Amino acid sequence: MRRISPVLNLFIAASLLAHSQASQNRNQTQKPSQSNEVNAQSQSARPFTSEEKTRIIRTLLETPRLAATLRNQRYRVLSVALAPDSKVRKDETKELRIAVVVLFNYTSSKATRFLVDSSTGEILAEEELRGRPQPSGEERQEAAEVIRQDRSLASVLREGAIIEGGFAVADPNEHKPPHRCIQFQLLSGDRTRLLRVVVVDLNDRIIALSRNNY
């Protein structure tokens, strides 16, 4: 049997090493592209930023028909979010990012849900909501301020009571149509006792119900 010369051995080893390094380089160049594909897919479903939400709301409210409807009305946008996948449509060139915008009109006491093209502000669909959408942070803050300005409740707060809760409930005064009402609890300072149940009417910005719990 012929023996392989030391020089040939070195040549074979060098060739194997070069092939191994080339394979590693090919794998490394492929990984970023795969990662970019994943990132691109994830980015299409990313939540709207606060800046995007502000732009979507502004563009929606500037729509001539809606602007005319809301003129001299008191209203608030409650939420802006990405529409479910079932609501998203695609055109020939790009994927449209559709926003779901919920608006409550305190003057008419109606909640409306809009589907909006986030890039153009075009209203794709709208429907009146029959239920009670959950309050926005702004609504909770406004309702809590109504509680603080009420004389009898302010005295309870000065004694150390804490405002908790803040969820939409039926109008206890049964207006037609029903007013937008948010319920809170006044708890003792150590949160061990429920002192009062308070319902705030945001249409009239008044206390609709205040019930002692002792």
Q: What does the domain layout of the chain look like in residue ranges?
A: 50-129, 137-212
Task: Identify the band that residue 119 occupies on the pLDDT scale cut at 50, 70 and 90.
Answer: confident
Query: What are the residues facing 167 on neighbouring strands?
Result: 183
**Which stretch, 20-24, 128-132, 166-170, has highest mean pLDDT?**
166-170
CB-CB contact of 145 with 163 (8 Å):
no
CB-CB contact of 147 with 207 (8 Å):
yes
> In whole numbers, what is the pLDDT of the chain averaged over residues?
82
- Sheet harboring 194-201: ordered strands across? 162-169, 181-187, 194-201, 206-212
The predicted pLDDT at position 121 comes to: 87
Residue 39 has pLDDT above 70, yes or no: no
Instruction: Write the pLDDT tens digit of every residue in 131-174.
Output: 899 999 999 999 999 999 999 999 999 999 999 999 999 999 99
* Phi, psi (rounded to 5 degrees) for 211: -120, 125
Percent of the chain exceeding pLDDT 70 equals 73
Residue 37 has pLDDT above 60, yes or no: no
The predicted pLDDT at position 8 comes to: 41
Q: Which one has a higher pLDDT value, 200 or 44?
A: 200
Task: Identify the band that residue 91 occupies on the pLDDT scale cut at 50, 70 and 90.
Answer: low
Q: Was domain 50-129 assigned CATH 1.10.3720.10? A: no
Which string of b and e fits 114-145 if b means at least 16 CB within 10 Å?
bbbbbeebeeeeeeeeeebbebeeebbebbbe
Question: Residues in the chain, how many?
Answer: 214
Which string of b and e fits 171-190 if b means at least 16 CB within 10 Å?
beeeeeeebbbbbbbbbeee
